[in-house]
Amino acid sequence: MPEDNAAIKEEIKQELAEERQKAETAPKKAAPKRRAKAAAGTPAQQQAGAQFIYEKILLFEKYPYEVEVADLSLKNYINLTPKAFPQTYRHFSQKKFSKANINIVERLENALMRGGTGGKVSGRVIRTEGRLQGKKLKTLHIMEAAFDKVNKNTGKNPLQVLVMALENSAPIEDTTRVRYGGIISNVAVDISASRRLDIALRNMAMATVIGAFANRKSMVDALANELILAANNDVNSYAIKRKNEVERMARSAK
């Protein structure tokens, strides 16, 4: 029995020595961080790859994302992340300022998906009966057709036209009601960049619904017409009218 135990110990020692020798002679693997860094490439290669992706992805596989935002206050909120068909379903809607991470085209689609509340808007009662409520794919087709129409009529990138329309129709100041004791008065206040963009998108969607309501004009034509008018800062645009009205009331409240 002692001889058997000695033989077993000797075999174990030999196996351990062989494994140690294999580990020493085997090529060393790079650390995970180094491997990831090597795969990512140099900063210049990363920038070139990002630029290639930026140029490759087209909106609706037609229009480039090379758009200039002139309004510096809206630049941080007009999201132009390259996506062929912007659709995120607002997975992070509970987080603060999550709207700033959503493509601007998708935000206009979401604004169009409004339910017909039957409220009085611009002297008319709008009852859409929820025809676009929750119809994300339908609004996506409306946006694509409207962008095609804008491109055909103006010859410009419709994404640039949308950005210009939002910049022109975003009000700078508004009024709020303040109570001093038993007296209520309107006071002029500045508007944050996030709210400016929210108001512009809401007015653009409202102009589309009003333009196509009880009218032979389709929503595609109404949206395309509103985008062109607002981009040209035309007073016939509903969004421009609303902006001028809000700013006029703010000036009178000063």
Check residue 118 and give its pLDDT: 55
Q: Which domains does the chain have, with CATH numbers?
A: 42-252 (1.10.455.10)
Token couple for 124: 């008319």
The DSSP annotation for 88-108 comes to -TTTTTTSTTGGGGSBHHHHH
Write out pLDDT tens, residues 215-243. Answer: 788 889 999 999 999 999 999 999 999 99
CB-based contacts of 236: which residues, under 8 Å, 6+ apart?
Answer: 229
Write out pLDDT tens, residues 176-193. Answer: 888 888 888 888 899 999
CA nearest neighbour of 204 among 131, 251, 125, 139? 139
The span from the CA of 48 to the CA of 60, in Å, is 23
The H-or-E segment that residue 148 falls in is helix 136-154
Write out pLDDT tens, residues 98-146. Answer: 888 889 999 999 888 876 555 566 666 666 666 777 888 888 999 999 9
